[in-house]
Amino acid sequence: MGFEDTALLSRILTMMTLSFHILYATIGVGVPLMILIAQWVGIKKKDDHYILLARRWARGFVITVAVGVVTGTAIGLQLSLLWPNFMQMAGNVIALPLFMEVFAFFFEAIFLGIYLYTWDRFEDQRKHLLLLIPVALGAAASSVFITMVNSFMNAPQGFDLVNGELINVSPLLAMLSPAVPTKVAHVMSTAFMTSAFVLASIAALRILQGSTHVYHKKALLMTMKLGLVFSIATALIGDFSGKYLAEYQPEKLAAAEWHFETEDEARLILFGVLDGQEPKYAIEIPYALSILAHGLPDAEVTGLNEFPEDEIPPLWIHYLFDTMVTIGMWLAFFSFVYVVAAWRKWPIITKRWFRWLTVATGPLALIAIEAGWWFTEVGRQPWILRGYMKTSEAATTSGQVDLMIILFAGLYFILGIGTIVVLSRMYKRNPVEKELAQRQKADKGGDPE
């Protein structure tokens, strides 16, 4: 088996693991904040529904976290198993945030265990709420640290490479690469946004299935409001990300936009097909690329023709970029309509087709997350460490990667199905109406369940 081949196989396995893990990781970062907000609102408003909402979310959350731990351990090890040459080099420069990520997760795991197993243990709900703060902080911190590692791969700094030797290593500089501010902000805001929409989908689905309890309406309105806030934040941060790319990774932005000639007053191209260097059937927005890249309609945007042919990312990332942006825009627009409609009491909100659109927000957000990560990873090619190490040089020489692909594909398939089956079974067996009735009975002097 040739050198190129193991690199390709290693990419496939890494892609599989990351694509699967990122769904759980995104929920893992975002949902603790949602639980925190629900429980806090419940305490503030003295509304048991919100507290129960937090509790039921927490039950589902722990299952996704457990699968996330498993897949996270897998990607952690696979980095060294599949990309030993990269890790050998990167370990010297970027090991610090990787190491800190473990501590952040450690912290999160400890308090998650405590939080889950101490419901109703405290007289004062606020004390229990306090235990959730380290969970949310640990989850956020671990995503910050791991995004720092990814940022370093995109905009490496903090070392000098002289005759193949790494010198003048500065772990802090490497950790705080120029990609960090936009990337970290983008990862966080999309995690919160996606989690809000996923939870909104569930509530909308329950209403569509005929549940009329006010509990679901409260849940839906709250999550749609949160979704709106974070999708607007995501759009703003996305704009900054465009400016970051224009400055530090112009080839990625140019490939995403099929922008070949360096020119000012550059147009933004949405979808379409490529004929040579000419996009066809595309939606074109004049000046928009110049604005996205530099904030001015007449700014000059670097084109792909400035780069050597073998350092240009594949051009199909255009579609990934478009998918991500279109979904993001749609979610911001839709949640805005939803919140206004709920506020003005427009009847449209109770229409079935509108409910179905609401159900679609969660899956759409998850698709956008996938498209975004595929875009950033494929868009960095051919580099694993931009400007320093190509992906093909980093891969393992082991001949068994193909077998491992089959093995892990089976594993992720089972874990994915298992998550869906277990979550739906858990909530079906114990619907909220039943739980509320039990709690009322318990309050009247019966035994708590």
Partner 1 sequence: MTLEIIGISVLWLFLFLYVIVASIDFGAGFFNAYSAFTNKQHILTNIIQRYLSPVWEVTNVFFVFFFVGIIGFFPQTAFYYGTTLLVPASLALILLAIRGSYYAFATYGARINHRGYIYMYGLSGLLLPASLSPVLAMSEGGFIKMNGSEPYLDYWALFTSPLMWSIVVLSITAVLYISAVFLTWYANKAGDVKATELIRKYALVWAGPAIVTATGIIFELRGHNPEHYSRILDLWWAFAISFLLFIGTVYLIWKKKNYGLAFILLVGQFFTAFFAYGVSHYPYLLYPYLTIYDGFTNESMAIALIIAFIAGLGLLLPSLYLLFRLFLFDKDYVKGKSDYHA
Q: Which of residues 158-197 bind partner 1 (CB under 8 A)?
A: 166, 169-172
Chain positions 425 to 444 lying near partner 1, rule: CB under 8 A, are: 425-426, 429
User: Does residue 130 belong to the site contacting partner 1 (CB under 8 A)?
Assistant: no
Chain positions 273 to 302 lying near partner 1, rule: CB under 8 A, are: none
Nearer to partner 1, 168 or 277 (CB): 168
Round to whole Å and give the CA distance between 188 and 12: 26
For the CB of residue 197, give the shortest distance to partner 1 in the complex, in Å.
23
Helix 3-45 crosses helix 214-248 at what angle (to 10 degrees)? 140
| Amino acid (1-letter code) at residue 100 | M
Candidates 22, 23, 34, 65: give the one binding partner 1 (CB under 8 A): 65
User: Does residue 32 belong to the site contacting partner 1 (CB under 8 A)?
Assistant: no
Nearer to partner 1, 89 or 324 (CB): 89
For the CB of residue 439, give the shortest distance to partner 1 in the complex, in Å.
14
What three-state secondary structure class fits 341?
A: helix
Round to whole Å and give the CA distance between 204 and 106: 34
User: Does residue 93 belong to the site contacting partner 1 (CB under 8 A)?
Assistant: yes
Chain positions 134 to 163 lying near partner 1, rule: CB under 8 A, are: 134
For the CB of residue 400, give the shortest distance to partner 1 in the complex, in Å.
5
**What is the enclosing helix (H) or strand (E) of 413?**
helix 401-429
Beta pairing class for 283-285 and 278-280: unpaired
Q: How far is residue 56 from each of residues 62, 165, 358, 377, measured CA to CA in Å?
A: 10, 53, 20, 35
Chain positions 190 to 249 lying near partner 1, rule: CB under 8 A, are: none
Residue whose C-alpha is closest to residue 192's, from 57, 65, 31: 31
* Ramachandran assignment for 160, one of left (phi > 0), alpha (psi -120 to 50 degrees), beta (any other): beta
Candidates 45, 92, 296, 434: give the one binding partner 1 (CB under 8 A): 92
Candidates 208, 274, 404, 436: give the one binding partner 1 (CB under 8 A): 404
Query: What residues does 379 pair with on adjacent strands?
Result: none
Chain positions 342 to 401 lying near partner 1, rule: CB under 8 A, are: 396-398, 400-401
What does the per-residue mask of binding to partner 1 show for 302-331, with x meaning CB under 8 A?
------------------------------
Place of tokens 């050998």: 88
For the CB of residue 69, give the shortest distance to partner 1 in the complex, in Å.
5
Nearer to partner 1, 162 or 308 (CB): 162
User: Which residues fall within 8 angstroms of residue 288, CB to CB, at 6 or more apart?
Assistant: 267, 268
DSSP structure class, residue 266: P
For the CB of residue 411, give the shortest distance to partner 1 in the complex, in Å.
6
Nearer to partner 1, 260 or 412 (CB): 412
Round to whole Å and give the CA distance between 152 and 170: 12
User: Does residue 129 belong to the site contacting partner 1 (CB under 8 A)?
Assistant: no
Candidates 19, 408, 435, 436: give the one binding partner 1 (CB under 8 A): 408
Nearer to partner 1, 132 or 349 (CB): 132
Burial of 301 (0-12, 13-18, 19+ CB in 10 A): buried
Round to whole Å and give the CA distance between 224 and 228: 6
Nearer to partner 1, 63 or 341 (CB): 63
Round to whole Å and give the CA distance between 68 and 305: 41
For the CB of residue 84, give the shortest distance to partner 1 in the complex, in Å.
3
For the CB of residue 1, give the shortest distance to partner 1 in the complex, in Å.
13
Candidates 113, 286, 295, 387: give the one binding partner 1 (CB under 8 A): 113
Place of tokens 């081949």: 5
